[in-house]
Structure 1
Amino acid sequence: MHAVGTSRQPGAPAVRTAVVWDVLRAALADRVAVTGRDRLDIVDAGGGTGGFAVPLAALGHTVTVVDPSPDSLAALERRAAEAGVGVRALQGDAADLGELLPADGTDLVLCHSVLEYVEDPGGALAAMARLLREGGMVSVLAANPLAAALHRSVSGRFDEALKVLGDPEGRWGDRDPTPRRFTRESLVRLLGASDLRPGEVHGVRVFADLVPSRLLDGEPGAAGALIALEQAAAEHPVLRDIASQLHILGHR
């Protein structure tokens, strides 16, 4: 098993997820120290093809992915087999978690890009909270409406950007593929309503979605430099709030 606290992200460093991995590494290291267990129990709700689940399993943890798509779960199993790790795959929705998994048996639940799409975000988060052992955590990653407004405006869609700012769900129109987005304040309220203690909010992809890919592909060291920039911006009180996504841990 690799050390949970290592400064290197599992697999190739990824600009889009570096900040999330930084938070998860620290949280897992703390949890290992508190429990004395190197092998933690992790549930990835809506984990799809295993972008987080497989690296976490490679660190030696027990990982279960719950996802409604059989195709995604099949891809997850192939990815896990290629990595030489075991990941449990269960078909189901966030609303099914209480029926699929026991209460009080999980150290960490990942809820990444899920709350935007479920019918009842509060109910889904409460179901995840019930899976946690005392001291366990839910990792929430959600789309930010302020970033949506910024991105619509830089592409010249000023009316849509304005609509995002006034829409209670943070949407830019009927064709918006994202059903809802969450501000920092709304995520904190949602966690509190689920009896979870909100941790610090981090901005994810503050700059990454604004940088042309050709700049990263053509310049040696550019990806590493952008990761360093993202890490510095993640806690900046202004830049954090315009990130494409917001990341927060809720503690039981």
Structure 2
Amino acid sequence: MPVYKNIWIACCLNLAFALLEAVFGVMFRSSLILADAVHDAGDALAIGLSALFETRATKKATHRYTLGYKRYSLLGALLVSSILITGSLFVIRENIPKLLAPEKVDHKGMFVLAIVAIAVNLVAKGMMEKGHSQHEKILSLHFLEDILGWLLVLVLSVLFQWTDWYILDPLFSLLIAGFILYKAVRQFWDNIEIVLEATPKGVDIEKVAQELEAVPPIEAIVQLQVWSLDGVEHCAMVHLQVRKVEDMAESKRLAHALLKNYGVGQVTIECDSSVR
């Protein structure tokens, strides 16, 4: 199944369950469930909009977009991570006052809803883990968030059956929101680095240069730039200096092979000869 179809399915699951959360959150008087309903509604909107970008990212290169449309997927990842950050901050703001005045919740309803929610989110997370794009990674993080959140709801529903520690409801809402805020900010920054064309993680540019200079026909590296289109597909621009003109073809072949070992698929190589 194409990536964008998985994302649309995840969007529909998220939106439908967010509506159920809102209804049952009011019925069970759980700030944790209500906060998650708001969070999921925002996420569903973000997922749906960003799925449009993911669909466009599968298009082939054109005269206008000569490197293809892969960065549309990156735009989707940035959008979703931004919504996660905003939603986490909203949850934190709403639940801090409830620490001072916790409300009694319906623990039996929480228990049943938690079981259903964990099953739904495990299915959605499994769909996202089959992909490799930055967008799918951030969506997988979102569903991991939901699974962790609902595991806590499950534990709390059992505790509330035997205790009146209702302060744990807003307290754990804050803990989950803080965890996801930390993870989403890191993912957001990773995506920003890709937009700014930073050297991809896992590619040691100095080591690559040293290995290229160690290739016998190559005398010097005049230029070496490596960047990523979408976090998965990497590109490079290389300017080599070789001793003889007849060494150019072999130098290019060896440089291509070396860069391929670092996951660089698209390479542009220019060669100069020091001996005319």
Q: TM-score range by the shorter chain?
A: under 0.3
Bigger radius of gyration: 2
Question: Which fold has the larger relative contact order, with Cα–Cα distance below 8 Å and residues 6 or more apart in sequence?
Answer: 1
Q: Greater helix share, 1 or 2?
A: 2
TM-score for the superposition, normalised by structure 2: 0.24
Q: Greater strand share, 1 or 2?
A: 1
TM-score for the superposition, normalised by structure 1: 0.25
